[in-house]
């Protein structure tokens, strides 16, 4: 019999899950939770799969997911490139790059033909994790691109050299559905949609799905929705659980099994400018992103 989730029988790090005596554990919406194996090591790298982290709602965990999914995939031996595609530069800061000191950023990469990926990529303190940083310069690109030929595919073209070198490229989008985000969706193989577990979470998701459908129709026929990730889940409230239930009713198995709990360790790690996996490697938040990495590899969303 399926048992209700309690603090005692929840699997470490994965909120909402429940261990069962006579069957597999269940996830937050009561689905059987498969065991996602640790990905097999790789002795060569590429071709990369490109995944865009996208939701026009602000503050839902796009950047946190980009950084920590990137770091956990790197822990599993994947070669990962983070592409900061938000003029706020939060993903760059979060992996230790100071946006004011940049000579070259993703802006130069997409706007200047003679700037190559190699010119802008920087290593991070995490082995296997590189970053293409961004800063406020990128905000000009949105306007400047409007008059360009093939303005929706400049990022796709710029990232082509990454495909042979990396296993996964993660693009951190800004909270808008403007031209920069359309560029990310055009470059991507898949979209991951972080949703904060709060009352208005589903507001705007229809518009996001519509935008993804349009990009698929007109620009990128193979674009997949890799999953919806519930973030900032608070196990102490019924409310978080209700939100995830509603997401499941609306989107079915697009909702990932992995749920990210709300914990101050994430903002703490941002302040320290590092992923949670190095800031607090044994914290539940690190376990949750490792679980997400394994789930995405098992689903074929990461190689």
Ligand X SMILES: Nc1ncnc2c1ncn2[C@@H]1O[C@H](COP(=O)(O)OP(=O)(O)OP(=O)(O)O)[C@@H](O)[C@H]1O
Stretch 89-108 residues interacting with Mg ion (CB under 5 A): 90
Check binding of 89 to ligand X (CB under 6 A): no
Nearer to ligand X, 62 or 294 (CB): 62
Phi, psi of 95 (to 5 degrees): -115, 20
Check binding of 178 to ligand X (CB under 6 A): no
CB of 26 to ligand X, least distance (A): 21
From the list ligand X, Mg ion, none, which binds 300 (C-beta under 5 to 8 Å, kind-based)? none
Check binding of 61 to ligand X (CB under 6 A): yes
C-alpha 198/C-alpha 98 separation (Å) is: 32
| Helix (H), strand (E) at residue 129 | strand 129-132
Nearer to ligand X, 59 or 300 (CB): 59
- Other CB atoms closer than 10 Å to residue 271's CB: what's the count? 11
Check binding of 84 to ligand X (CB under 6 A): no
C-alpha 144/C-alpha 156 separation (Å) is: 17
Contacts of residue 113, defined as CB under 8 A and 6 or more positions apart, other chains included, come to none
CB of 116 to Mg ion, least distance (A): 26
Number of residues that bind Mg ion (CB under 5 A): 3
Q: Using CA atoms in the order 99, 168, 280, 284, what is the torsion angle rounded to 10 degrees?
A: 130
Stretch 23-82 residues interacting with Mg ion (CB under 5 A): 62-63
DSSP code, position 43:
S
From the list Mg ion, ligand X, none, which binds 290 (C-beta under 5 to 8 Å, kind-based)? none
């Amino acid at each position: 019999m399926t048992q209700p989730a309690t603090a005692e029988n929840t699997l470490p790090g994965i909120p909402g899950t429940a261990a069962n005596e006579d069957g597999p554990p269940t996830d937050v919406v009561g689905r059987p939770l498969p065991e996602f194996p640790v990905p097999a090591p790789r002795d060569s790298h590429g071709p990369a799969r490109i995944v865009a982290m996208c939701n026009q709602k602000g503050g839902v965990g796009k950047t946190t997911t980009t950084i920590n999914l990137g770091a956990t995939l790197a822990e599993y031996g994947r070669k990962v490139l983070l592409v900061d595609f938000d003029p706020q530069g939060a993903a760059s800061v979060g992996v230790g790059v100071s946006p004011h000191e940049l000579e070259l950023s993703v802006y130069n990469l997409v706007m200047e033909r003679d700037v190559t990926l190699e010119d802008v990529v920087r290593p991070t303190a995490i082995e296997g994790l590189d970053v293409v940083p961004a800063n406020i310069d990128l905000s000009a690109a949105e306007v400047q691109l409007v008059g360009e030929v093939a303005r929706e595919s400049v990022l796709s073209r710029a990232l082509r050299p990454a495909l042979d070198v990396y296993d996964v490229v993660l693009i951190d989008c800004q909270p808008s559905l403007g031209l920069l985000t359309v560029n990310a969706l055009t470059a991507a193989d898949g979209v991951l949609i972080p949703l904060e577990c709060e009352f208005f979470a589903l507001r705007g998701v229809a518009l996001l799905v519509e935008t993804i459908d349009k990009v698929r129709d007109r620009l990128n026929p193979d674009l997949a929705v890799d999953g919806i990730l519930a973030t900032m889940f608070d196990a102490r409230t019924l409310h978080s659980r209700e939100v995830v239930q509603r997401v499941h009713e609306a989107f079915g198995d697009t909702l990932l099994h992995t749920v990210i709990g709300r914990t101050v360790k994430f903002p703490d790690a941002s302040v320290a400018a590092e992923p949670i996996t190095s800031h607090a490697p044994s914290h539940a938040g690190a376990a949750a992103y490792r679980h997400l990495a394994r789930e995405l590899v098992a689903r074929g969303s990461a190689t």
